Amino acid sequence: MSYLVLARKWRPRTFDEIVGQETVVRTLKNALVSGRIGHAFLLSGARGVGKTTTARILAKALNCSQADKPTSEPCGRCSSCEEIATGTALDVQEIDGATHNGVEQVRELRESARYNPARDRFKIWIIDEVHMLSTGAFNALLKTLEEPPPRVKFIFATTEYHKIPDTILSRCQQYDFRMIPARELADHLRRVAQGEEVRISDEAVGRIARAAEGSVRDALSLFDQVLSFSGDTVRDEDIQALLGLIDRDLLLAASRAIAESDSVALLELVERLSEYGADYRNFARELLLHFREILLGKMAPANSALLVAILPDELQSLKSLAESFSEEDLLRFFDVLVKVEADLRWAQDPRVTLEIALLKMSQMRRLLPFAELVARVERLPGGETAAPDGAERVASAPKEQTVSRPRTARRESPPRSQSGEPVDPAVAEPAGILGEMMALAKRRPSLLQPLRAARASIDGSTLTLAVQEDFLAFTETHIEEYRDLARRAGGQTLAVKVEHANREEKQESAEESERRGLLERAQSDPAVQQALDLFGGRIVDVRKEPSRSD
């Protein structure tokens, strides 16, 4: 006797045996029990989820000769049920839309529908991939589909629902078949393995179920292929070698290397993939799913349904890895892996493309979290300034206060220059003091900017700073901070005087006067000062905010 593949051998024979389509099964069974049976059914969904199988079971339920009316539990033993199962029933015609897609075939169907069934209760047409019918064939079918003879039923199946004309959809009862979850596929494969007397681990079953991507037929076909390779005992390494799946140890090694920012380990891992002959794109896809599981392990509670498909041992490893990453890190990893998975399809050198992506991911964890930076900026206009780790935070002046107090405490030790050498007050020159003040003010760009175009002179113990007109009001407001800079730069207590730099007077326009006023207000604003200090910036331009009427 010829071998029968598992996808055919384990094809469901009753509604209760259908995998993962509880809603569709319940609706059809209730309709059969209550007698509310439509004349046309449209079954739509992805490949291998049970559309054609459900159509055959429905045909059995309608024509089972062991019952005196349609039943939700066809016997499967009568001549009608057996002939429908083998495809030899005279009153149940199963055709494909790709072959019978012309107007002439539909006309023959219409003529045949005029006659009563030869033996069974109903004359049934099962049209698979009905979306392949031509526009003319659909139009020729409309009238018969809307008002068929009382003993005629149509069952359509399609994988491309969107290609069915609306005029056909409105005449059918529509049933959408979902993709089968991996855990339900795994349960079904365990039942098949038990029936076939095959020893296989839960890990191997889970891998086959995930590789099937929601299709029962694909899962059974893969399982059939594995059995041909392994025999009655299936090992985990057999699954990996035969199906081209990525070893879980490689995925764990990759995530650990990224967590430790170990670039060398990542390059060595890609070398192992190259020696193994693995598909780089498949590795990127598997790594994306691996980081998704890490995110689920980090966010989902212990009893969440999101974690059902993950084995307990794997979940423990994922939770320990999840502690090394923030949610922002994982989201950035998703962006990189989605992009590289698409790029690998057309990349001239896939290995280098994958290496660059992995190295980029290993460096991402060094980035300053955006939330932390935003929090620091939000504190600027309030009462707290950003301080380095371990340093005391200093309360800033109220918003309406225009005079800031010195931020640096006075030191009793002898002042030193930026180079660290003591400054001799006797030989300090005005230009040298100004240079030292600029060097000390590098950490405060708001204080440094007026000094860049200033001139200095000393008369006794008084240091006179001649600044540009735009900075005159700012330097007067912060005169005590400039005195502190002068003391530290000159090595002695100096009185600081600010004056307007000598330049030709000129008539300024109203716009220039308004701009100068805005600049002075910006320079004296505490929030602007702190922003300049935080980001190391300088004021380039000031603009008046437009009014709402503008």
Q: State whether 253 and 355 are in the same domain.
A: yes
Smallest Cα–Cα separation from 451: which of 472, 430, 467? 467
Q: State whether 118 and 187 are in the same domain.
A: no
In this prediction, residue 373 carries a pLDDT of 67
Alpha-carbon radius of gyration of the chain: 40
In this prediction, residue 30 carries a pLDDT of 94
Find tokens 């994982």 and name the residue: 330
In this prediction, residue 371 carries a pLDDT of 64
In this prediction, residue 427 carries a pLDDT of 41
Q: State whether 170 and 104 are in the same domain.
A: yes
Domain of 461, CATH number, reads 3.30.300.180
Q: Count structural domains, the chain.
A: 4
Q: State whether 142 and 47 are in the same domain.
A: yes
Distances (CA, A) of 431 to 470, 489, 500: 22, 11, 18
In this prediction, residue 246 carries a pLDDT of 75
Domain termination residue (choose one: 364, 389, 417): 364
- Residue 25: give the domain boundaries: 6-176
Q: State whether 34 and 116 are in the same domain.
A: yes
Name the average pLDDT for the chain: 80
**3-state secondary structure (DSSP) of residue 158:** strand
User: Mean pLDDT per segment of 10 residues, for the chain of length 550 residues?
Assistant: 83 92 93 91 92 93 90 90 89 88 87 87 92 90 87 93 91 92 89 90 84 89 88 80 75 89 91 84 88 85 70 74 85 91 89 92 74 66 45 38 38 45 51 81 78 81 82 81 83 81 52 71 76 73 64
Residues 6+ apart with CB under 8 A from 335: none
In this prediction, residue 406 carries a pLDDT of 40
- pLDDT of 214-229, one tens digit each? 899 999 999 988 888 8
Q: State whether 310 and 328 are in the same domain.
A: yes
Residue 169 sits at φ, ψ, to 5 deg, of -60, -40
Q: State whether 10 and 135 are in the same domain.
A: yes
Smallest Cα–Cα separation from 253: which of 270, 235, 278, 275? 270
Q: State whether 164 and 206 are in the same domain.
A: no
In this prediction, residue 424 carries a pLDDT of 47
Q: What is the DSSP letter of 345?
A: T
In this prediction, residue 413 carries a pLDDT of 45
In this prediction, residue 157 carries a pLDDT of 94
Q: Is residue 520 part of a domain?
A: yes
Q: State whether 435 and 310 are in the same domain.
A: no
pTM above 0.75, yes or no: no
In this prediction, residue 1 carries a pLDDT of 53
Domain termination residue (choose one: 176, 200, 218): 176
- pLDDT of 345-397, one tens digit each? 888 899 999 999 999 998 887 666 666 666 666 666 544 444 444 433 333 33
Count Cβ atoms below 10 Å from residue 312 Cβ, excluding itself.
7
Cα dihedral sign for 32, 35, 39, 42?
negative
First-to-last CA distance in the chain?
A: 88
